[in-house]
């Protein structure tokens, strides 16, 4: 585990502890998938999501997170705070820098408690990631979903079902088009995730084959 990776997990643990069990906050995004053991890479930000039922106490939870991190020596810059959404920049010693996103989001299952604290259920975390690949198709989404498929823990049909739970507009024809965008990824885009040019070639091959398989079953 890299130093930055470990420090980011420490920040997430402090923040989750500060929100408290009754706040409903749980680690989400790629960080949740990492904690479930499906990927092993640093993430751009720490995503902490709660539910609409806890919206009334969002500001109190945010204040507790900021206070807890400052008490541990981190500097906090509030980049954005509007309603039930906030973006923080957390700066630590030796140039450590990460972001924290706090927000309200839908989930199908109760979070699970792992070593880091409350984490989205595996099903919710994976469904969110596949839905993210469908809607925005960023390089990190391609890499993460490829890792999820290679884990063998879900069939393709299960991945589609979980994505539809998250995004009822999930459509296989358009999902195949999102998979096609893998060809545009340059090696420097994924180097930060520890993906070599050779590994990227493998990601591209598998995603292109998946897109072709989806289209073959649709027509």
Residues 144 and 189 in one domain: yes
Residues 20 and 95 in one domain: yes
Residues 98 and 114 in one domain: yes
pLDDT in tens, 28-62: 999 999 999 999 887 889 999 999 999 999 999 99
Q: What is the domain-level CATH number for residue 54?
A: 3.10.450.620
- Residue 117's SS3 state is strand
β 97-104/112-114 pair status: unpaired
- Residue 193's SS3 state is coil
Can you name the residues that pair with 46 across neighbouring β-strands? 100
Which of these, 87, 114, 116, 88, lies nearest to 6 by C-alpha position? 116
DSSP 211: H
| Residues 6+ away with beta carbon under 8 Å from 147 | 38, 39
Q: How many structural domains compose the chain?
A: 2
- For residue 5, the enclosing domain spans 1-120
Residues 1 and 89 in one domain: yes
pLDDT digits (tens), the chain, 219 positions? 445 788 999 999 999 999 988 899 999 999 999 999 999 887 889 999 999 999 999 999 999 999 999 999 999 999 999 999 999 999 998 888 999 999 999 999 999 999 999 999 999 999 999 999 999 999 999 999 999 999 999 999 999 999 999 999 999 999 999 999 999 999 999 999 999 999 999 999 999 999 999 999 998
- Residue 102's SS3 state is strand
As a whole number, the mean pLDDT across the chain is: 95
* First vs last C-alpha separation in the chain: 45
Residues 145 and 74 in one domain: no
> Taking CA 196 as the corner, what is the angle to CA 193 and CA 198, rounded to the nearest 5 degrees?
145
Residues 5 and 97 in one domain: yes
Please give the pLDDT value at position 42: 77
Tell me if 39 sits within 8 A of 147, measured CB to CB: yes
DSSP 112: E
Please give the pLDDT value at position 136: 96
pLDDT in tens, 111-140: 999 999 999 999 999 999 999 999 999 999
Q: Looking at 95, 120, 145, which one is the last position of a domain?
A: 120
Q: Looking at 98, 120, 142, which one is the last position of a domain?
A: 120
Residues 145 and 181 in one domain: yes
Q: Looking at 103, 120, 137, which one is the last position of a domain?
A: 120
């Amino acid at each position: 585990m890299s130093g930055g990776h470990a420090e980011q997990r420490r920040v997430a643990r402090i923040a989750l502890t500060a929100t408290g069990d009754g706040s409903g906050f749980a680690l989400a995004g790629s960080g949740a998938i990492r904690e479930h053991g499906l990927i092993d890479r640093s993430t751009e930000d720490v995503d902490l999501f709660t539910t609409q039922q806890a919206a009334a106490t969002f500001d109190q939870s945010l204040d507790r997170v900021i206070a807890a991190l400052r008490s541990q020596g981190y500097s906090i810059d509030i980049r954005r705070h509007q309603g039930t959404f906030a973006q923080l920049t957390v700066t630590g010693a030796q140039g450590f820098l990460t972001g924290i996103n706090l927000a309200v989001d839908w989930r199908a299952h109760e979070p699970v408690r792992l070593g880091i604290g409350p984490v989205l259920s595996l099903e919710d975390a994976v469904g969110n990631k596949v839905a993210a690949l469908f809607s925005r198709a960023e390089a990190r989404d391609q890499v993460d979903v490829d890792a999820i498929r290679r884990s063998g823990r879900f069939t393709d049909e299960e991945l589609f079902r979980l994505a539809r739970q998250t995004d009822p507009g999930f459509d296989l024809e358009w999902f195949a088009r999102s998979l096609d965008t893998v060809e545009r990824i340059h090696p420097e885009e994924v180097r930060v995730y520890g993906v070599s040019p050779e590994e990227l070639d493998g990601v591209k091959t598998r995603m292109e084959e998946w897109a072709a398989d989806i289209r073959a079953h649709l027509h």
